[in-house]
Amino acid sequence: MPLSFLLTFLAVKRLGKTRLNERVGLLMIVGVWLLGGLFMMVNASFSGGGFRSNEGVRWAIQSILLSLIPVYTYILATYDGALAALLVVTLGACVVLAVQSKWR
């Protein structure tokens, strides 16, 4: 996860020099924390969990809405075994944002 995050960040930064592009790192971190739970559930679906469970549509909708809460991303990352990667991505992006803000 940290490597794919870094490669995506660098690709977007090289794509163009717009005003929104200056804060792409912050937007990517928000995306990781808001959509991380959803993508971990999609990933679990391939091994029989996630959306393939027998709980029904109500459970799926409830899980999608819960995955928009950042704490839920933390909980799912803990159960998924991706907590270290989530923390590395978050701390690394915070360091990059701090360094970039000092260069301006």
pTM: 0.73
Measured CA to CA, the distance from residue 84 to residue 59 in angstroms comes to: 28
CB count in 10 Å sphere of residue 36: 22
pLDDT of residue 84: 92
Between the alpha carbon of residue 75 and those of residues 8, 11, 14, 34, the distances in Å are 24, 29, 33, 13
Q: What is the pLDDT along the chain (104 residues), one digit of tens a residue?
A: 778 777 777 777 777 666 556 677 787 888 888 888 888 888 888 887 777 777 777 887 888 888 888 888 898 889 888 899 899 888 888 887 787 777 65
**Which token pair is 16?**
């163009």
pLDDT of residue 103: 65
